[in-house]
Structure 1
Amino acid sequence: MNTNREHINVVWLKRDLRLQDNEAISNALKSGKRTLIIYIFEHLLLNDVHYSERHFNFIKESIQDINKQLSVYNSKVLTVTSDISSTFNQLQEFYRIKTIYSHVETGLLVTYDRDKEFIRYCRNNFITWEESKNNGVERGIVNRDYWFENWETYMTSHLEMFQPLENQLLNISEIEHLEQLFSVTDLHTPEATKFQKGGTTIGWKYANSFFESRHKDYMSNISKPEASRSSCSRISPYIAWGNLSIRQVFQKAQQLKAKTSEPKHIGPFISRLRWQAHFIQKFEMEHTMENASVNKGYHKLKKTLSISYQNAWKEGQTGFPLVDASMRCLIETGYVNFRMRAMLASFFTHILWQPWQFATTHLSQLFLDFEPGIHFPQLQMQAGETGINNLRIYNPTVNGLKHDPDALFIKKWVPELAHLDTTFIHEPYLMTELEQGFYNFKLGEDYPMPIVDIKENRKRASDILWNMKKDTEVISESFRILKRHTL
């Protein structure tokens, strides 16, 4: 080992794939020391069942975008496929690492366990690991006293600027020399997909077009599966992977709210930024939510597994057009609006009466904006297993007639129904054999019959879950949850 190694700082990028308003980068640069920025495609995440290729491609596109910005400084991100300790062991062959900077990650249990191991690694190697608060979420708090005030203060504080000193970033030649030590990740991604592309640059294109014009129909179309695709902000993946910070978006939205003559659309958007932080904070404080219901009273709830039901739901072949359209759209594009996500979860857990745990990985792999701190609390809320939220059992037919009355969304994603009259598109199972003949359409062949009796199953779920709300353990747990997670 070289005993004359240069002392440097390292920024470990995770779900903060941006240069501006990145506190970890800013703190590293303020130290004045030369700095290396790294991203590690860790085997523990590459092999994790919650992730899929669409996520890794989005990350790669985000890093490509960062590298374009860093080219001005003759630098780039060292991007490797490895494990965290192995990576730093290799780096220390060339450099003495003084401090590692990153953000606190509210991730999966595997990343939490990895972080605990890495703390020991840093201690054993006399490295300081400095973690910054991520989007106002706090680690180590036991209740929400003053949480909202602290979050608001954080959101209105100054943005961190990316201002490296001359030659402060390791240059491309030095990084290419380091790359010889590693399995360097190929950052190329497929061009022809229907997924949103990653990166801060395109993230701001979505955000700016929303703030400039698209927000004007935000609340009018928020529940409509087709219209919401353009009138919602569509920045959720850019927030989930850190291409944009919540603070940047919050301040931009507040500026618009102050000058617009119609704040009715921007106000609700800002409130959803708060809710986003609220749910991640909840998950941060109750990490067991990844595998078990936060309300322990629901651990006694038993459901009969049906692989055939689960597969029909996963493939968009349930016989309920809005459910199938939403799932097929999600498979192909990685996005559906909040109401359709809630309906998919409700249909799985209530109408099909399947445990929410068996929906987690399928949905997480499909959501381009998969965020653990949103994913698990929301699934449990839609499954009716928190004890503190209203029980919502979505009727897909009613939602289709209300939010997709002309069946534009269904026609697009369930094309085998597109030639039917609108009434039949929403409820093809009501067609008589004679009517099926008129349209040269055969239920059970061209499109599946409903796999369950929705009226009967809806009543079963409602009766059981409403009765469980009276359970003494559910009530006791509800009080505990409210005390811990509300103001």
Structure 2
Amino acid sequence: MTEREHINVVWLKRDLRLQDNEAISNALKSGKRTLLLYAFEFILLNDEHYSERHFNFIRESIRDLNRQLLEHNTKILAVDCDIQSTFNLIQEFYKIDAIYSHVETGILVTYNRDKEFKRYCRNNFIQWKESKNNGVERGLVNRDNWFESWENYMNAELEVFQPDDGQLLAIDDIKTLEKVFTVADLETPSDTPFQKGGSSMGWKYANSFFDNRHEAYMTNISKPEASRSSCSRLSPYISWGNVSIRQVFQKGKAVKAKSKNKKHISAFLSRLRWQAHFIQKFEMEHTMEQASVNKGYHKLKKSISEDYQKVWREGQTGFPLVDASMRCLVETGYVNFRMRAMLVSFFTHILWQPWQAASTHLSQQFLDFEPGIHFPQLQMQAGETGINNLRIYNPITNSLKHDPDSVFIKKWVPELAHLDTPFIHEPYLMTELEQGLYNFRLGEDYPHPIVDIKENRKRASEILWNMKDDPEVVKESFRILKRHTLSNRNRLLKSD
């Protein structure tokens, strides 16, 4: 029997790029031939947090990688298979010496998978070498010196993809491997309203933002319609690793040095810091996926209303900005941060539903679903951390302030578009006579408000403010601050 060739494998996860990919660089530095692998794992294909829009984005990203890899006579081995079975099949052809990947701050199923995979590697005498992902560190017990470490990482030299000739397994080699797999179908619909995946597309967004779109970044950041072009729109490309935070950070600093709009670039860079801060927090407390980080809030009980949850998911609550934001999110996979916060606040405070009941619907809709952002933000907006200010967003106030001409609402709630602007913001104020004049029937053409917003805001505020003084909430708040607060927290807010 012919001795199997010894190779390395790069297991791609949420790092779907060639440039500044430490896992790929480290694999190539070993000198062995290397296979690039992506597995559409059944545990994720079937997980309730994900939806087809995510997998299509991944497929588009892999197609983009394959276009870049053509000049190197290779491609990604993309398969539908669980990860241990994938490596067992590869080992029928090659002896795998080492597997390279990034540390994944994912959901509980991927965390448990990684623990099992570590045992698998040990039992098969394979080295599994994981690289730090975007400056987030595993195994921290507190945040001492974390910011300095993150900044050093962000300012380090970028990894350059420069494989030697023949260092990556050739396309013919990969075609041989594909014969024993269910090869992933990488075709995707071309006419969807979602952003398309891939590093090439990610850099088109980055370049247009840094060239000119950033000039109105802070002006429009909270506006539901204008923010769609003034914000970077890089979040899905960062979440799925089409671009690294380090690449974007260094690009932003270079642009800022020459820009006349330094405050806008500085604000953008500060949000990259906050993004890493929240992911690091989730990395250190993965139980946030299912339960409030502040254990004092575990005693908070809310009655489940399937009717409330259904109309919220469908954008039929009777509050136009809430409904417009949800419909826009479902249709396009994106709304800005303020609208996301408002959707969660409305669900948890006004409808008085548990944040866990909103989690999977929102994760399925967010094209940029990032576990390390998703779960901490859900809890923060729900007011269940004990350390953050309680914010109960008023959808009417936000509507009048951030969509005063109702451009966004008209687009996503077209049944209101023919009304005068004041009625578009608050259609329930229309009298019977006014409804007749506009040929509009509240309760038929558009629903009555699902709840009394003033009464429900008051209830939520009183309960949550009183709970901040609960001894267990206070005790947990001190624990959270000690574990997660940065001594130089203010530096997150500004850029050098």
Calculate the TM-score normalised by the size of structure 1.
Answer: 0.99
Deviations along 1:215-271, whole A, 9 cap, x unmatched? Answer: 000000000000000000000000000000000000000011111122110001000
Aligned to 1:148: 147
Cα separation, 2, equivalents of 1:163 and 1:185: 27
Per the alignment, residue 30 of structure 1 pairs with: 29
**Residue of structure 2 equivalent to 1:188:** 187
2:11 corresponds in structure 1 to 12
Alignment match, 1:211:
210
Q: Aligned letter for 1:229?
A: R
Q: Count matched residues.
A: 486
Which residue of 1 is the match for residue 299 of structure 2? Answer: 300
Aligned to 2:284: 285
2:457 counterpart residue number: 458
- What do the CA deviations read for 1:393-448 (whole angstroms, capped 9, x no partner)? 00001000000000000000000000000000000000000000000000000000
* Match of residue 469 from structure 2: 470
Name the stretch that deviates more: 261-270 or 423-432: 261-270
Counterpart mapping for 1:74-223 below 5 A:
74-223=73-222
CA–CA distance in structure 1, aligned partners of residues 274 and 79 of structure 2:
34
For 2:491, the equivalent position in structure 1 comes to none
Give 2:9's aligned amino acid. V
Distance 2:112 2:61 in 1: 26
Name the Cα RMSD after superposition.
0.5
- Give 2:262's aligned amino acid: P
Partner of 2:248: 249
Map 1:232-247 to 2 at 5 A: 232-247=231-246
**Equivalent in the alignment of 2:357:** 358
Local SS of the residue matching 2:140: coil
- What amino acid sits opposite 2:12 in the alignment? L
Q: Distance in 2 between matches of 1:46 and 1:186?
A: 13
Letter in 2 for 1:243: N
| CA distances 1:13-42 after superposition (whole Å, capped 9, x unpaired) | 000000000000000001110000000000
Distance 1:166 1:75 in 2: 11
Secondary structure at the counterpart of residue 211 of structure 1: helix
Q: d(CA) in 1 for partners of 2:452 and 2:325?
A: 20
What residue identity is the alignment partner of 2:451? Answer: V
Q: SS in structure 1 opposite 2:110?
A: helix
Q: Could you report, residue by residue, the CA deviation over 1:117-163 in whole angstroms, capped at 9, with x for unpaired residues?
A: 00000000000000000000000010000000000000000000001
Q: Which amino acid aligns with 1:360?
A: S
Q: Report the equivalent of 2:333.
A: 334
SS in 2 for 1:189: coil
Aligned to 2:381: 382
Amino acid at match of 1:387: G
SS in 1 for 2:262: coil
SS in 2 for 1:19: coil
Alpha-carbon distance between aligned partners in 1 of 2:251 and 2:405, rounded to the nearest angstrom: 35
Alignment-derived partner of residue 493 in structure 2: none
Q: Greater shift after overlay, 252-261 or 466-475?
A: 252-261
Which piece of structure 1 moves more, 251-260 or 35-44? 251-260
Letter aligned with residue 139 of structure 1: R
Structure 1 window deviating more from structure 2 (410-419 vs 255-264): it is 255-264
**Distance in 2 between the 1:67 and 1:240 partners?**
20
Aligned partner of 2:398 in structure 1 is 399
> CA offsets, 1:174-209, max 9 Å, x none?
100100010000000000000000000000000000
Q: What 5-or-longer segments of structure 2 have no aligned partner?
A: 487-496
Residues 274-327 of structure 1, C-alpha deviations (whole Å, 9 max, x = no match): 000000000000000000000000000010100000000000000000000000
Distance of 2:182 and 2:145 partners within structure 1? 46
Aligned-pair CA distance for 1:464 = 0.1
Matched to 1:196, the amino acid is Q
The one-letter amino acid of 1:328's match is: R
| CA distance, structure 2, for counterparts of residue 262 and residue 431 of structure 1 | 44
**Partner residue, 1:436:** 435
Q: Distance in 2 between matches of 1:248 and 1:151?
A: 14
1: CA distance, partners of 2:399 / 2:459 = 22
Residues 421-480 of structure 1: CA deviation (Å, up to 9, x unaligned): 000000000000000000000000000000000000000000000000000000010000
Q: Secondary structure at the match of 1:97?
A: strand
Deviation at 1:3, TM superposition (A): 5.3
Q: Percent identity?
A: 79
Query: Which residue of structure 1 aligns with residue 343 of structure 2?
Result: 344
| 2:484 equivalent in structure 1 | 485
Listed as ranges, the gaps of 5+ residues in structure 1 are none
Distance of 1:405 and 1:163 partners within structure 2: 51
Matched, 1:63 2:62: yes
Query: For 1:256-275, what aligned pairs fall within 5 Å after superposition?
Result: 256-275=255-274
Residue identity matched to 1:103: H
Distance 1:61 1:309 in 2: 36
Partner of 1:322: 321
Partner SS, residue 39 of structure 2 = strand
> SS of the residue aligned with 1:10?
strand
AA partner of residue 400 (structure 2)? L
Question: Runs (4+) of structure 1 moved beyond 3 Å?
Answer: none
> 1:370 maps to which residue?
369
Match of 1:72 in 2: 71
